[in-house]
Amino acid sequence: MTQPPLILASSSPRRRELLASLGIEYSIIKPEIDETQHDGEPPLAYVRRLSKEKAHAVAEQLQSQATILAADTVVILAADTIGIDGEGEILGKPADADEARAMLKRLRGRDHLVVTAFTLLKAGTESSNHTQDVQTRVTMRDYTDREIEDYIATGDPFDKAGSYAIQHPEFRPVADLSGSRTNVIGLPLDEVREALIEMGYKVAK
């Protein structure tokens, strides 16, 4: 039985690379949705909603059967640095160097939570087939102000939630983490692999 085409509803180069590592052929359609957080909407509800809306936005563009994979990642900074319940302040992508600097200083030497929600949706269905959020506890190292400035100068923070990439070879901002590393990059591979297998896809180990 031929498996239906897989579509990644994301333009993120990091998600493209991670999904490619599973050995599945896929195409890309960028979803166009309003990503504004609703008033009073908790971060976990917000990121799950976005993953569903992205999947449905792409499904509406299709004329044939396919499975859509959509994901959204947020950095949650809780006042008590616990935040397992998903309550806390979302640190999104910085608009400029000042915002990136402020975020990196707030994260320095602290724990925060990185949550990625992903949705797998079979086009033509009225509800999401699978939506799941994956949480990783991240501890940042005590980097210096000079390191922050050097990192900002690379331009890397500006398309990253929380203003950083765990995989950056020079900055290396993370001291420790508990959970999925690929989740922090943008797509929790183990969980996505299991979900795809359940939907009948042959996936590389």
Q: What is the CATH number of the domain that holds 90?
A: 3.90.950.10
Which residues on neighbouring strands pair with residue 37, listed in sequence order?
Answer: none
Question: Is 81 inside a domain boundary?
Answer: yes
Total number of domains constituting the chain? 1
Question: Is 1 inside a domain boundary?
Answer: no
Query: Taking the mean position of all CA atoms in its chain, how far away is CA 71?
Result: 6
Predicted pLDDT at 89: 85
Q: Could you give the CA distance from residue 156 to residue 168 in angstroms, rounded to a whole number?
A: 8
Q: Tally Cβ neighbours within 10 Å of residue 36.
A: 9
Residues of the chain with pLDDT under 70: 1, 78-87, 125-128
Predicted pLDDT at 181: 96
- Is the Cα dihedral 51, 13, 156, 98 positive or negative? negative
Predicted pLDDT at 173: 97
Give me the domain span that covers residue 64: 6-198
Please pick, among 72, 133, 156, 159, the residue that the annotation labels catalytic: 72
Question: Is 203 inside a domain boundary?
Answer: no
Q: Which two tokens stand for residue 36?
A: 């504004």
- Catalytic residue status for 72: yes
Question: Is 167 inside a domain boundary?
Answer: yes
Question: Is 152 inside a domain boundary?
Answer: yes
